[in-house]
Amino acid sequence: MTMTNGGDHTGQLTVLGAGRLPQPEGGPSVSLLEVFPNRFPHRPYVVSMAFPEYTSLCPVTGQPDFGTIVVEFIPDQKCVESKSFKLYMFAYRNHQSFMESITNTILEDFVEALDPMWCRVKGLFSPRGATYLHVFAEHYKKLDDPAKAEEVRRRLEARSGPPYMGQVAMHALLIDIGNTSLKIGVAGIEGLVASYTLPTDTQQSGDGLGLQLAYLLGHAGFGTPATGPGNVALDGCVISSVVPGMNPLVTHACKRFLELTPRFAHRDLPIPLENRYERPNEVGADRLVGAFGARRLLPDVRSVVSVDYGTATNFDCVTGNAYLGGLICPGVMSSLGALATRTAQLPRIALTAHADVPIVGRSTVTSLNHGFLFGFASMTEGLYARLTKTLEGPVAFVATGGFAPDVARVVDCFDLVRPDLVLEGLRLLWLESRD
């Protein structure tokens, strides 16, 4: 059996360190969870694992369900290896089941794999029809040792607190100010719990923007001075901005209507990446925050590339903890806008294609949809092939931006698809700033 110099047994682990994540076949199974010996069975301690990109399918409609899965356990003789946990969660992507069943299935699989002293699974599912569904399932192991049982009880009692949506002072407002839109999110310690999009408008008043923010937060169940008490209080506000004209408007809105003093990424909150740009201040905060988020989400690979399908298409590269720079290519909407200025009768298109290969269009709409989708897919595949040869490997790719899910559906080079990667990066900055 292989043992590290820290005393951990690793000989039975096959997934960790294997480079790119394989695609689990056959759906979720307890066999995907790899375990290793717990070196401290005499000491009850809590392990918490969160998977904020959970996806499965509704068994009735076939529509995707999204959410965050949090697994907490007190190990007995075994612990679960984190990368195998990721693969286990990935296997739910095409799995059809109700959220209540999924949460309990995950609990049963962890109990079977680990036989823990205690385990709790929290399914924090994204809202449908303005309704939040959070499912909590729990297991207690019957312990023969009264002293250990009492110690476990005290450990859990000390950890207990209000329900997830009732936690106070553990949520932050996140705002990504882009050239086209404001992406607004509310996140807790375990992931994004609500998100909205507003247009970027430097001509509006700070009061108007503040009232919009207060309404959206009240809609999500968060208390503000404008809406009165809600279920959850906000602990802070973190902003990424590439539109300087919006900064005083957002600051005014947050201070007057939310009683929050925003902190701007890069200006007030240093981004913990070594910036190797020739002129570091030229890099947009959104690019650095997205690269930081990708780095934190995939810490086990040498290099990560964040591909943002926004106003421009940005390829931002990180090796180790160094932001190297990237590539800036035409964006989907800016390309479409440029085409529209020269085409009088350009039809409105959805930028989707219900096919895995391009179709020779027999209408302008089909020609545009397939031309844009597969054109950007080919650009992505070409730059993926070149960058994997240029960067130190292994290399992982993360897709983000509103167009990311469409491109990711017809290419296989992405390890993660996170449309709100900048918001996730802001959430991680907020969490690290609390330490």
Strands 416-417 and 395-400: parallel
Q: Write out the catalytic residue numbers.
A: 286
What's the CA gap between 435 and 431, in Å, rounded? Answer: 7
Bridge partner residues of 420 (DSSP): none
Q: Which of 34, 29, 32 has the alpha carbon at shortest distance from 13?
A: 34
Taking a C-beta distance cutoff of 8 angstroms, is the pair 15, 81 a contact? yes
Pairing outcome for strands 171-177 and 181-188: antiparallel
Nearest to 88 by CA among 38, 131, 54, 136: 54
Q: What is the phi/psi pair of residue 332, to 5°?
A: -65, -55
Residues, the chain, total?
435
Residues 6+ apart with CB under 8 A from 43: none
**What is the DSSP pairing of strand 274-275 with strand 131-140?**
unpaired
